[in-house]
Amino acid sequence: MSIEKFSDPGLPEHQHRQTDVSEKHADRAERQIAILFVLSAVGTIGTIASYIFIKPNSFVFVPVIGDTNAQQLFLGLGLAVSLLFIGLAAIHWAKQLMPDHEVVAERHEFRSEDKDRKEFVAAAKEGAAAAGLGRRSLIKRSMGLALGLIGLTPLVMLRDLGSLPKKQLNKTNWQAGTRLVLDPSNRPVKVSDLEVGSVAQILPELPEGQERTLESIATDAVLLIRIRPEEFNLDAERLSWTHEGIIAFSKICSHMGCAVALYEQQTKHLLCPCHQSTFDVTRAAKVIFGPAARPLPQLPIGVDADGYLVAKSPFNEPIGPSFWERNSK
């Protein structure tokens, strides 16, 4: 017995709308559409009135939203009303009064007839043959050379987009003896300025008359943290880079360069808010969680003759995210 599928009953019979059969309903739909258009016009008038008459600095309290700028609010509401009601009117019009007979159109396969395809393929082949690329290999090779080389032009022309990195990614403005100053006040820091448990945002002191740039902040920002010295769990060298429980790390995350700004005093963890890499301050900013693969570089610090905190030497490794030329040990 052959399997018989259900047969297609064809398009369902058209159902007339009330507006198709009753003039009264059609007239009512017309009035509804007109009202919607008029409401849009009212919205536009409201928009214009809000622009002219509401003071730009007046605020209104709206439940849920809170205090909000009255002019922006009413301009927006007016705009929304004027637009929405045009849309509603047009759709109501289309649905109620425009013909709603479904129409059937034919589809045709996109593939051309075999004859046309053969001729098309033949023409393409003929064109390729007429150009003679297959036979004249000298032209083919020299053209390849020319086209390949011309691709270099835009690359060369873009060379002046920026300077070469050279050793810049390895450098910061920290030198041996550079004083640590507070950001943003630029005051030098003494040990007594920092209580145990506190954190300070630090930048290197600039020579007289030099302006601080964002580029320098992006490499120089340092976080100064003071804990009780006995809480450190460092080797002798790293311990010698601290001073009376004060330890300094680059604030630029070793993962993707965000500012590692969250210090948890209880656990002595530093957390980067971008990707949650977590560093243990007591163990030289060792990564204890998250995607960062390297500790934050530590800045060796001591005090100068006047008792101000200074860098004992520059960072001994590049700060911030990795790059190909970085020599990571």
Q: For the purposes of burial, counting CB atoms within 10 Å of the CB of 142, is it exposed (0-12), middle (13-18) or buried (19 or more)?
A: exposed
**210 vs 10: CA distance, rounded Å:** 84
Residues 240/220, Cβ–Cβ less than 8 Å: no
What is the chain's Cα-based Rg?
A: 37
Nearer to other proteins, 227 or 319 (CB): 319
Nearest-approach distance from CB 227 to other proteins, in angstroms = 22
Nearer to other proteins, 51 or 190 (CB): 51
Nearest-approach distance from CB 134 to other proteins, in angstroms = 29
Q: Does residue number 89 form part of the binding site for other proteins (CB under 8 A)?
A: yes
Q: Does residue number 199 form part of the binding site for other proteins (CB under 8 A)?
A: no
Residues 241/298, Cβ–Cβ less than 8 Å: yes
Number of residues that bind other proteins (CB under 8 A): 103
Nearest-approach distance from CB 39 to other proteins, in angstroms = 11
**Local structure of residue 210 (DSSP, 8 states):** P
Phi and psi angles of residue 204, each rounded to the nearest 5 degrees, phi first: -75, 145
Overall size of the chain counted in residues: 329
- Please identify which residue in 138, 214, 236, 305 interacts with other proteins, judged by CB under 8 A: 214
Nearer to other proteins, 63 or 134 (CB): 63
Q: Does residue number 90 form part of the binding site for other proteins (CB under 8 A)?
A: yes
- Please identify which residue in 10, 134, 148, 151 interacts with other proteins, judged by CB under 8 A: 10
Question: Other C-beta atoms within 10 Å of 5: how many?
Answer: 5
Which string of x and - marks every residue 265-284 that binds other proteins (by CB under 8 A)? Answer: --------xxxxx-------
Q: Does residue number 183 form part of the binding site for other proteins (CB under 8 A)?
A: yes
**Which segment (16-24, 236-244, 292-300, 306-314) binds other proteins by CB under 8 A?**
292-300
Q: Which two tokens stand for residue 17?
A: 């709308």
Q: Which two tokens stand for residue 212?
A: 């601080």
**Which segment (100-108, 113-121, 191-199, 301-309) binds other proteins by CB under 8 A?**
100-108
- Please identify which residue in 53, 61, 109, 134 interacts with other proteins, judged by CB under 8 A: 109
**163 vs 236: CA distance, rounded Å:** 40
Q: Does residue number 42 form part of the binding site for other proteins (CB under 8 A)?
A: no
Q: Does residue number 23 form part of the binding site for other proteins (CB under 8 A)?
A: no
Nearer to other proteins, 183 or 244 (CB): 183
**Which segment (73-81, 117-125, 127-135, 232-240) binds other proteins by CB under 8 A?**
73-81
Buried b (16+ CB within 10 A) or exposed e, 173-211: bbeeebbbbebeeeebbeeebbeeeebbebbbbbeeeee
Q: Does residue number 18 form part of the binding site for other proteins (CB under 8 A)?
A: no
- Where in 238-267 is the site for other proteins (CB under 8 A)? 251-252, 255-259, 261-262
- Where in 120-149 is the site for other proteins (CB under 8 A)? none
- Please identify which residue in 152, 158, 236, 305 interacts with other proteins, judged by CB under 8 A: 158
Contacts of 303 (CB under 8 A, 6+ apart): 190, 191, 243, 309, 310
Nearer to other proteins, 33 or 303 (CB): 33
Q: Does residue number 46 form part of the binding site for other proteins (CB under 8 A)?
A: no
**167 vs 199: CA distance, rounded Å:** 31
Of 212, 182, 173, 221, which is closest to residue 200 (Cα–Cα)? 182
